[in-house]
Amino acid sequence: MKKNYLLTPGPTPLPPEVCESLSRPIIHHRTPQFQAILKEAYEGLRYVFQTSNEVFILASSGTGGLEAAMINFLSPGDTVITVDAGKFGERWAEIGKAYGINCEVIKVEWGKAVNPKDIEAILKAGKGKIKAVYTTLCETSTGVATDIKAIGEVVKATEAILVVDAVSGLGAIDLQADGWNCDVVVSGSQKGLMLPPGLGFISVSPKAWKLAESSKCPKYYFDLKAAKKAYVSTDTPWTPAIGLVIALNEAIKLMRAEGLEKIFSWHNKMAEAVRSAVKVLGLELFAPDAYSDVVTAVKVPAGIDGEKLVKTMRDSYGVTIAGGQSEMKGKIFRFAHMGYIGEFDIISGISCLEKVLQQMGYKFELGTGVAAAEKVFLKA
């Protein structure tokens, strides 16, 4: 029998406590029992977001949260800055275009991170006309981490709000919504929070709420004013994903017990192990200067079929990593290390990578990648 290892940038493996909670009998959502569950979820999310602001729960994927982060604070014809450094960064402009928003797009070479000074320059040139800056904490298509803290320092001095796509990074790497001046933060359930897909989360600052008062973009299901009204009564405006909210509380209990600092440190160690392994194998990091502790993107070596590499690992050996997207399809592979993943998941993944590379004719000393990763895990 083949055991499966999930080392993709979402969905991520589920802890046993989360799996158990998903098997419980369903309850009705307009009851005191679910109100208590929802209250716990709201409090837990504020802990993970590191914020004192409201965090709303949407029955959607993270993309639903991204759409809500556009339509609740803008009107058709408004001008915003969007950072396009990969497949997910470009989504901001795509959503904006759908609602008639004028997007000043900062195009960043894939594998690089945006320079906060470039954002600052456009904000100054805009002379107060720019309403918001939309960027991404971790660009999972390239394995790049963005300096959100530095961008927050730039944006806070303006009338614009800072909106962060933290779908793949929240709960795995540090993001201090309040401390880093993030006005709106969006995340999803199936990555660092160790849940199945189906929940979107969005936090909103007082500065963002002021902008929401003049928003004229059409909205109904994703209307955060309706969500805020229900939030006051520990409720939701629409039917929530009851089972997933129950599971969310179990996941956050695990995170609280571990502590955010230790969680971030562990993700750093897993990422360091993967980076050390691929370097020893003679492989090249796709983002050597701005890599993320959530997912490592690696260039496929010359003469190797990148798509076949990913497919063989998955179909023959049960180890699922991710291939490249869009222009990077077949050119990179992405090895994720977020959420409920342990040392020997990483070791198994590296071992499988070595085996398949050998089978495909790539020359190196078998076992060197595993040894390099082990040395990282052996460090105090």
CB 156 within 8 A of CB 119: no
Q: In the block, which residue shows the tokens 């939701």?
A: 236
In the chain, where the domains are located? 5-10+260-378, 16-257
pLDDT, position 2: 83
Task: Give the CATH class of 16-257.
Answer: alpha beta
Tokens read off for 171: 């709960």
Residues 301-325: what's their mean pLDDT? 97
Q: How far apart are CA 322 and CA 314, in angstroms?
A: 10
Distance, first Cα to last Cα, the chain: 35
- pLDDT of 167 reads 97
pLDDT of residue 304: 98
Arithmetic mean of pLDDT over the chain: 97
- Percent of the chain residues topping a pLDDT of 90: 98
Q: Report the b/e string of 316-333 with b at 16+ CB within 10 A.
A: ebebbbbbbbeebebebb
Q: Model confidence over 106-142: pLDDT tens digits?
A: 999 999 999 999 999 999 999 899 999 999 999 999 9
In angstroms, the CA 48 to CA 260 distance is 8
Task: Provide the pLDDT for residue 1.
Answer: 76
Kindly state the average pLDDT of the residues 31-47: 98
Ranges assigned E (strand) in the chain: 5-6, 54-58, 79-84, 102-107, 130-136, 138-139, 144-145, 161-165, 184-188, 200-204, 295-299, 319-320, 322-323, 332-336
Query: 353 Cβ partners below 8 Å, 6+ apart?
Result: 277, 278, 281, 313, 319, 321, 335, 369
Has residue 149 got a pLDDT over 80? yes
* Digit-coded pLDDT (tens) for 57-84: 999 999 999 999 999 999 999 999 999 9
Strands 322-323 and 130-136: unpaired
- Homologous superfamily (CATH) for 5-10+260-378: Aspartate Aminotransferase, domain 1 (3.90.1150.10)
Query: pLDDT digits over 211-238, tens only?
Result: 999 999 999 999 999 999 999 999 999 9
CA angle 231, 232, 236 (to 5 degrees): 30
Q: How far is CA 221 from CA 97, 185, 202, 218, 348, in A?
A: 19, 19, 14, 10, 43
146 closest CA partner among 112, 123, 176, 171: 112
Please state, in angstroms and rounded to a whole number, the distance separating the CA atoms of residues 341 and 23.
22
pLDDT at 237: 97
State how far the Cα of 93 lies from the Cα of 366, in Å rounded to an integer. 45
CA distance 77 to 99: 9
- 267-299 pLDDT, tens digit per residue, is 999 999 999 999 999 999 999 999 999 999 999
- Both tokens of residue 57? 């729960």
Pick from 356, 337, 342, 377: nearest CA to 8: 337
Of the candidates 66, 58, 54, the one whose C-alpha atom is nearest the C-alpha of residue 245 is 58
